[in-house]
Amino acid sequence: MKMMSKQQRLHPAAILFNFFKVIRESLFIIILGFITFRDNNSTYFILGISILIILLAAYSVASWYRYTYRVEEEELRVEYGIVIRKKRYISINRIQSIDLTAGVIHRIFKLVKVQIETAGSGTGAEAALKAVKLSEGERLRSELKNRNKQKEVEVEEEESETPAYPFYKISFKRLFLAGSTSSSIGIMLAFLLIGVSELEQFIPDRFYNNAMTWVIGLSIIIIAGLALLVLFILWVLGIAGTMIKYGNFTITKNNEELFITRGLLEKKQLTIPLNRIQAVGIQESIIRQPLGYVTVFAEIAGGSLDKGEDFSTVLFPIMRAEEVEGFLQELLPSYAKQPDEFTRLPKRARKFYLFRTVIPMVLIGAVIAYFFPQFSWIPIILLIGSLYLGLLRYWAGGYYLEDNHLIIRYRGFSKMTMVIYHNRIQSFETTQHKIQKFQKLATMKLSIIGKLGAGRHYTIKDLDEVDADKLMNWYSYQD
């Protein structure tokens, strides 16, 4: 069928997005000019900034006017460029995913950003329509995916009935729990410490010394109370961040695609073709594992930096471990099997896991004990914690092999279970250093294609030598 549509421009709000973009790109020049002229010649600085803003505004309007798109002869045709006219033709057959994203400004004007990706999109989307009406974005997505419009109308009319396709939506209770048990508090604490350390150079010495004297003069109880207050604030911010990111999270399977919608402030609609899924993972953090909750995610081949912050795509932020098999059975049945027993690491591997985990903590503890002897209790806590983490890593390690797929399990801080099919593995290798060879152990490493076309690597250390050979033979199709 030959599809044609008239040449169209983006919504005028795209002028705003263009303007903000060029302002951001020119921010270094503006700051440099301010620093140069802040003491004198401020009139020239204001005049220069005014002229620059006028030029940038004119450029934004011209960029919007010269940017057009249309669907013609089974292609999406995009033309842009003010002085040099550029044309980009994207065959509909090459399109892998079409994502709709709506930031705060988009939602005010009922607009969306349309991101179109092909298998070779690289670090950026193949085409990105910054601002189109929501109805136009949905129409364009439907047209490019060759969907029957009449069927869509019928589905909309029957929304009150049971969905025709598997559908999951996160509840407020689960969303709150996801935020409460997320690891974002550690990330924010690290940024806070870095920020405080950098802030020190901007604080007057007298004020800084007085503040430190006041803190040192406080009792241990008050200091502990302030630390708990800071942690509580970071915890609340972590909950808020998770709820903003994953608010209204829904996932639906439609034929050969998964559709994910999420976000409160910035609403994202992601399309995941099933044939681009390279592996499915189950993550159990140290906090969530005792509670019996996990995160389910997928490794997707290709993609672009425009996708967002994640190098793995979350299929569901949080669910009970016993719910995973049913969830995958409906959405990705080939990845649903959850084995009861894994082939575990041999007992002789335990000492290596303990050694690798303990040594860094011993070194850190020694530094603390030497420079801050009053905190000599900290190395003891670090030692106990590292011993326990080493045991957790040893207990987690293992694999399950059946026919054409492999399930591996390992732990960093979080326990990870990855389901990978033979035809998705790009490389497989086993290595042995001298001590491992003496102990008849080996390290297994396999790689798949991840986002941005980069490899994703998975390693299990200190497998039994027999098991490592068995896995290598399986990958090589050897008897």
Rg (CA), the chain: 27
This prediction has a pTM of 0.73
In a domain, 417, yes or no: yes
| Residue 310 sits in the same domain as residue 286 | yes
Domain count, the chain: 4
Between helix 350-371 and helix 377-396 the angle, nearest 10°, is: 160
Examine the domain organization and report whether 206 and 303 are in the same domain.
no
142 and 68 fall within a common domain: yes
* 170: number of Cβ within 10 Å: 20
Whether 331 and 460 share a structural domain: yes
Whether residue 405 lies inside any domain: the answer is yes
Domain closes at, from 113, 129, 148:
148
**Are 297 and 199 members of one domain?**
no
Is residue 368 a part of any domain in this protein? yes
Q: What is the pLDDT of residue 154?
A: 43
Residue 14 counted as domain residue: yes
- Binned average pLDDT, 10 residues per bin, the chain of 479 residues: 68 87 78 66 74 87 90 85 86 81 84 80 69 87 62 42 72 89 61 52 59 61 73 79 88 88 85 89 91 93 51 87 93 90 94 93 84 79 91 95 93 94 92 93 90 77 95 80
Domain closes at, from 394, 427, 451 = 394
Domain membership flag for residue 3: no
Residue 479 is predicted with a pLDDT of: 45
Q: Write a three-state SS string for the chain.
A: CCCECCCEECCCCHHHHHHHHHHHHCHHHHHHHHHHHCCCCHHHHHHHHHHHHHHHHHHHHHHHHHCEEEEECCEEEEEECCCCCEEEEEEHHHEEEEEEEECHHHHHCCEEEEEEEECCCCCCCCEEEEEEEHHHHHHHHHHHCCCCHHHHHHHHHCCCCCCCCCEEECCHHHHHHHHHCCCHHHHHHHHHHHHHHHHHHHCCHHHHHHHHHHHHHCCHHHHHHHHHHHHHHHHHHHHHHHHHHHCCCEEEEECCEEEEEECCCCEEEEEEEHHHEEEEEEEECCCCHHHCEEEEEEEECECCHHHCCCCCEEEEEEEEHHHHHHHHHHHCHHHCCCCCCCEECCHHHHHHHHHHHHHHHHHHHHHHHHHCHHHCHHHHHHHHHHHHHHHHHHHHCEEEEECCEEEEEEECCCEEEEEEEHHHCCEEEEECCHHHHHHCEEEEEEEEECECCCEEEEEEEEEEHHHHHHHHHHHHCCC
The answer to whether residues 385 and 405 belong to one domain is: no
Residue 325 sits in the same domain as residue 464? yes
Is residue 137 in a domain?
yes
Q: Are residues 376 and 317 in the same domain?
A: no
Question: Which residue among 106, 132, 148 closes a domain?
Answer: 148
Whole-number pLDDT of residue 104 = 80
* Residues 422 and 275 grouped into a single domain: yes
Q: Is the same domain home to 281 and 419?
A: yes
Does residue 297 fall inside a structural domain? yes
- Same-domain pairing of 129 and 69: yes
In terms of residue numbers, what domain contains 371? 347-394
Q: What is the pLDDT of residue 92?
A: 82
Same domain, 407 and 363: no
Judge whether 163 lies within some domain. Answer: no
